[in-house]
């Protein structure tokens, strides 16, 4: 499988999920494919536009992480 369940080293009552070797290999393939797609999509973008895009995506990600963005 992609995930292995194991006991916590300190508190054996706790079960943790960790990525298996197979899972790690899959995430590496996905990362490589995403990087290749990005190179194709953004190849003609000027650097200043890429910088703005990255800044705005970071702002979006930060907002998604904040508690204020989640409805109760």
Helices (H), ranges, 1-72: 21-42, 47-65
For residue 68, give Cα distances in angstroms to 7, 58, 60, 63, 65: 34, 16, 13, 8, 9
User: CA 65, CA 29: separation in Å to the nearest integer?
Assistant: 26
The reported pLDDT for the residue numbered 69 is 57
The reported pLDDT for the residue numbered 6 is 94
Give the pLDDT confidence of 15-50 residue by residue, as tens digits.
Answer: 999 999 999 999 999 999 999 999 999 999 999 999
Whole-number percent of the chain with pLDDT over 90: 86
Average pLDDT across the chain, whole number:
93
Residue with tokens 């290999």: 25
Choose between 25 and 70: higher pLDDT.
25
57 φ, ψ (degrees, to nearest 5): -65, -35
């Amino acid at each position: 499988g992609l995930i292995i369940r194991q006991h916590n080293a300190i508190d054996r009552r706790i079960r943790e999920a960790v990525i298996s070797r197979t899972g790690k290999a899959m995430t590496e393939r996905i990362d490589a494919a995403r990087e290749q797609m990005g190179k194709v999509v953004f190849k003609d973008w000027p650097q200043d536009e890429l910088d703005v895009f990255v800044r705005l995506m970071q702002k979006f990600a930060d907002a998604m992480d904040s508690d204020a963005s989640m409805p109760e």
